Amino acid sequence: MKLICLFTLSLLILCHAKPFKVEWSTLLKASVNTKPLDPPDITNCTKPTDEGEINSVTFDPAEPKAGDTVTIEASFFLKENVTKGTITVSADFDGQQLYSGDLNLCDVAKEVGLPCPLLYGAHNFKVELPLPSLTPTGTYSGKGVITDQNDKEVACGEGTYKL
């Protein structure tokens, strides 16, 4: 489940691994994937009026398989200083909600080596994520929205992995 949260937040440029409340019966019914994953389908839902611009998000390998380590690199630009904020995250597996909640932006930034406050300008980060060798097949999807200290939207991203 760590994969889903990191995938979702990587779409937003900030990654964080947080335990999910999992319906184990759903996962146990799923088969295990040993074939390469399809490349992620990523949508940048950041609006031109938002305080941030997502420049790039890359996955290496682009089509990982269970047991691989995926490197996620991202770059973004902030149009204003962000002194604190919230990341609202939702993650699903085959249409079943696995996680929905809010994360503290500064806590997440510090965990991936970014400063807080996040100042005006360009930022980059890199995260390595080991995929479990027993990854259930199915559709993983997630969405995340970052808001700042004034509840103004900074960035938005959503995406889907089909295993």
The encoded tokens of residue 154 equal: 């900074």
Full-model pTM: 0.73
State pLDDT tens for residues 127-158: 888 888 887 878 889 999 999 999 999 999 88
What's the CATH class of domain 2-162? mainly beta
State pLDDT tens for residues 2-49: 444 444 444 433 333 333 333 333 333 333 333 334 456 778 888 999
d(C-alpha 51, C-alpha 75), whole Å: 14
Nearest-CA neighbor of 137 among 33, 9, 14, 4? 33
